[in-house]
Structure 1
Amino acid sequence: MSTILTKENIQLNVQLANKEEAIRKTGEILVEKGYVAADYIEKMLEREELTSTYMGNFVAIPHGTEDAKELVKESGLSIIQVPAGVDFGDGNMVKVLIGIAGKNNEHLDILSQIAIVCSEEENIEKIVEAKDAQTILDLFEEVN
């Protein structure tokens, strides 16, 4: 996951007012790092309207709709740590946002790696409590 996830793609101690701001911020990192075109953020918001990307365990995985594929330049991830949490509706608090941009069919591999990391509650706690980006990066690199 070396070029898909780097320390620069991880933001710690972020305060977010609401779900839309959370999704935009997650997408902005993907845009800034050159993984996706700017329009991808709107597709992430559209996706959220279809069905929530809240996965349980304080984790949400915002990503674009099916038709957003042509906006993806290369596969990439963004991770935002929100220790205070952000409300994703229905009482679901999110403390870890993982933005995904998958080129071709790579998003399935990326999702399976994220699922492995996030299936362990202790890993979520480590991400929420991490004091530096390297700690989070190490968790994801252990999966590879």
Structure 2
Amino acid sequence: MAKEILGEDNIELNVELNTKEEAIRFTGEILVENGYVESSYIDKMLEREKVTSTYMGNYVAIPHGTEDAKSSVMETGISVVTVPHGVDFDGNVVKILVGIAGKGDDHLEVLSKIAIVLSEEENIDKIVNAGSKEEIIRIFDEVN
């Protein structure tokens, strides 16, 4: 049976992160710990960030691996980390980190769902201020 893409184990609320690198590592580590990716994927997430920023606007960054990181992905999954005090991404404040690992072309479907959720400013506030992991899962489950 395939793992669920976003479960409670993939979410961390109210985290304090000091740097962009720390934020990306933390987001990737969740994917590693829960069996979605091999640890080498985190280096590819950092490599991707050097090529092009994963900051998307609206207090959101979506760290993910480079194209050649696909072999490190075991299952499709996402991690969600809220950083209410924000972390600096090259002059931009990020309060929500969504780490993505997509097996095959799964990442395209996952990305579009995430984009729909995070395009609503109201959802950004709800996610940053979420009191529970269940709340975040509900917000993402509302989009189908």
Query: Is this a same-fold pair by TM over 0.5?
Result: yes
Deviation track 1:1-26 (CA, whole Å, cap 9, x = no partner) reads x7000011000010001000000000
How many residues are matched? 142
The equivalent residue for 1:109 is 109
* Structure 1 residues without counterparts, runs of 5 or longer: none
Partner of 1:77: 78
1:92 maps to which residue?
92
Structure-1 separation of matches of 2:16 and 2:7: 21
Partner secondary structure for residue 142 of structure 2? helix
Aligned equivalent of 2:25: 24
Q: Which runs of 4+ in 1 moved over 4 A?
A: none
**Equivalent-residue separation in structure 2 for 1:103 and 1:25 (angstroms):** 20
Deviations along 1:76-126, whole A, 9 cap, x unmatched? 00000000000001x200000000000000000000000000000000000
Residue aligning to 2:16: 15
Between the aligned partners of 1:8 and 1:138, the Cα distance in structure 2 is 15
Distance 2:71 2:85 in 1: 35
TM-score, structure 1 normalization: 0.97
Identity of aligned pairs, percent? 65
When the two structures are superposed, what TM-score results if normalisation uses the length of structure 2?
A: 0.97
> What is the distance in 2 between the residues matched to 1:108 and 1:118?
15
Gaps of 5+ in 2: none
The one-letter amino acid of 2:119's match is S
Q: Distance in 2 between matches of 1:53 and 1:128?
A: 18
